[in-house]
Amino acid sequence: MVSTFPGTSRGNNPNSLPTPDVAVVGAGPIGLAIAWRCAARGLRVVVHDPNPGSGAAYAAAGMLAPVAEAYFGEHELTGLLTESAARWPAFAAELVAASGADVGYRSEGTLMVGLTTDDLAVARRLWAYQQGLGLPITPLRPSELRDRESALSPRLRGGAYAGTDHQVDPRRLMSALRTATERAGGVLVPTPVQRLTQVTAGTTVVAAGCGTAALTGLPVRPVKGQVLRLRAPEGPGFRHVIRGFADGEQVYLVPRQEGEVVVGATSEERTDTMVTSGAVLRLLRAATDLVPEVAEYELVEALAGLRPGSPDNAPILGPLPGRPAVLAATGHHRHGIVLTPVTADLIADLIVTGTPDPLLAPFTPERLGPAAGVPAPARGSAAARTTPQEESWN
Ligand SMILES: Cc1cc2nc3c(=O)[nH]c(=O)nc-3n(C[C@H](O)[C@H](O)[C@H](O)COP(=O)(O)OP(=O)(O)OC[C@H]3O[C@@H](n4cnc5c(N)ncnc54)[C@H](O)[C@@H]3O)c2cc1C
């Protein structure tokens, strides 16, 4: 469905539309959720993307894991993950109502496990840190793990339960967000934005994932993740998200209603999207170490996505320095799906009220230094060949 602004019938040619209140660059989960929230509040919204939903979200597993993803030294980020995960049930319900589409939200929780004694020692150190933050974790003995999921390997040395770590299906999410945005009056324009000067709007939101660096100069870099999709012929023999350490490898298995199991993921400082046999081997070995029946599943898909990483692994949210009408909503790295609700709410509120919510304070572009948000020069120009920013950020 192609929408037009209320009162117009001029299709989705951006030049034929009245100046929008908000132009969003990038129709990933972040851009679309912001567009939906803004359109639902009566703003005229245009979203530019040649290929909506084709970014990191297409590869993503969809874990909503504020507990399992609480890592040492990422205190502010953990707070935002927890806040956003708490908003997910209402966000999912609203989105289902607005789009008429299921998003695959599931709340069975997550089992975190260790295969060997060494794996368990590493895992326990992390769980102790997470418990120290007050996050809800219940330690489980091997027999208790297998009481909850009999598909788990009897070799596991121990684990823990994170009941608040849920999941959603990112591909369903993207489709639902697109429908909800269009139903609310948002217009999708299927062309790329080469330069922000191309875009005319009251406020421009740059949510272009890994494409953000070239548009804004922000230090967003691709972090490659290889991931597999398997299909269990009779449905997966487990209901929880399972994530753990297996002989030093980190792996997760995310079961879906329709029999799909997502197994991931590598984390590589690379810009290509090639799937390597070594990564597939490591992921499948670790997955079958934790859940042996996985070896009987069909291998349906192997692909790589590029996470939009930031220097401190936290998102970059708010106006570019000296450019109050250009907002960044990017750098969500491993957490763009879980952070979708809070990002959309905070950015839409900022656009509508002009006042930043205090939750945004730790995540401003300014925290990354004075050069953050200075646009890179056009490719091929003399400046482009000599700017250290672009050399190190791309
Ligand atoms: C293997 C893997 C597993 C993951 N698992 C999880 C998980 O379990 N939980 C979780 O929370 N997160 C997960 N993530 C991270 C998550 O996918 C990202 O953080 C999230 O997709 C970021 O959303 P985004 O909208 O900012 O960017 P993207 O999803 O990358 O979307 C960016 C969009 O911008 C468009 N674009 C780019 N440049 C331009 C331009 N110049 N003009 C117009 N449009 C443009 C692209 O076409 C794309 O549609 C995972 C990622 C990977 C790769």
Q: Supply the CATH number for residue 285's domain.
A: 3.30.9.10
> CA-CA distance, 164 to 66, in Å (whole number)?
8
Same domain, 266 and 365: no
Say whether both 176 and 290 belong to one domain.
no
Q: Which amino acid is at 44?
A: R
334 vs 74: CA distance, rounded Å = 13
Residues 211 and 249 in one domain: no
- Cα(151) to ligand 1 centroid in Å equals 32
Q: What is the pLDDT of residues 179-204, one digit of tens each?
A: 999 999 999 999 999 999 999 999 99
Closest ligand 1 atom, CA of 208? 34
> Does residue 385 belong to any structural domain of this protein?
yes
Query: Where is the domain boundary, 275, 309, 343?
Result: 309
Query: E strands, the chain, where?
Result: 22-25, 45-48, 63-64, 110-114, 138-140, 158-162, 166-167, 187-189, 203-206, 221-231, 241-246, 249-255, 260-264, 298-309, 316-320, 323-330
237, 295: one domain: yes
CATH number of the domain that residue 214 is part of: 3.50.50.60
Q: Are residues 343 and 380 in the same domain?
A: yes
Q: Is 91 inside any structural domain?
A: no
What residues make up the domain containing 358? 14-58+170-220+312-393
Confidence (pLDDT) at 15: 55
For 239-250, write each residue's pLDDT tens digit: 999 999 999 999
- 6 found inside a domain: no
| Residue 177, domain member (yes or no) | yes
Q: How far apart are CA 322 and CA 362, in angstroms?
A: 18
Mutation pick for ligand 1 pocket among 337, 342, 347, 394 (CB with most ligand atoms within 8 Å): 337
Residues lining ligand 1, judged by CB closer than 6 Å? 25-31, 48-49, 51-57, 59-63, 192-193, 207-209, 211, 215, 225, 227, 264-265, 305, 307-308, 330, 332-338
Strands 249-255 and 166-167, how do they pair?
unpaired
Q: Which mean pLDDT values do the consecutive 10-residue runs of the chain (394 residues) have?
A: 38 65 98 98 98 97 97 96 98 98 98 98 96 96 97 97 98 98 98 96 98 96 98 94 97 95 97 98 98 97 98 97 96 98 98 97 91 58 34 23
Q: Do residues 30 and 41 both lie within one domain?
A: yes
Q: Considering the domain boundaries, does residue 341 fall inside one?
A: yes
pTM for this model (two decimals):
0.92
Same domain (yes/no): 233, 144? yes
**Preceding peptide of 295 cis, ω within 30°:** no
| Domain-embedded: residue 216 | yes
How many domains does one find in the chain?
2
Question: How does 128-156 read in b/e, with b if 16+ C-beta sit within 10 Å?
Answer: eebbeeebebeebebeebbebbebbbeeb
Instruction: Identify the pLDDT of residue 257.
Output: 86
Atom of ligand 1 nearest to the CA of 30: 25
Of 110, 169, 334, the one to substitute when testing ligand 1's pocket (max ligand atoms within 8 A of C-beta) is 334
Regarding whether 359 and 284 lie in a shared domain, the answer is no
Last residue within a domain, chosen from 294, 309, 324:
309
Final residue belonging to a domain, choices 292, 309, 326: 309
User: Does residue 198 share a domain with residue 51?
Assistant: yes
CA pair distance 61, 75, nearest whole angstrom: 23
316 and 388 belong to one structural domain: yes
Which of 212, 244, 249 has the alpha carbon at shortest distance from 336?
A: 212
Q: By three-state DSSP, how is residue 245 classified? A: strand
- The answer to whether residue 77 sits within a structural domain is no
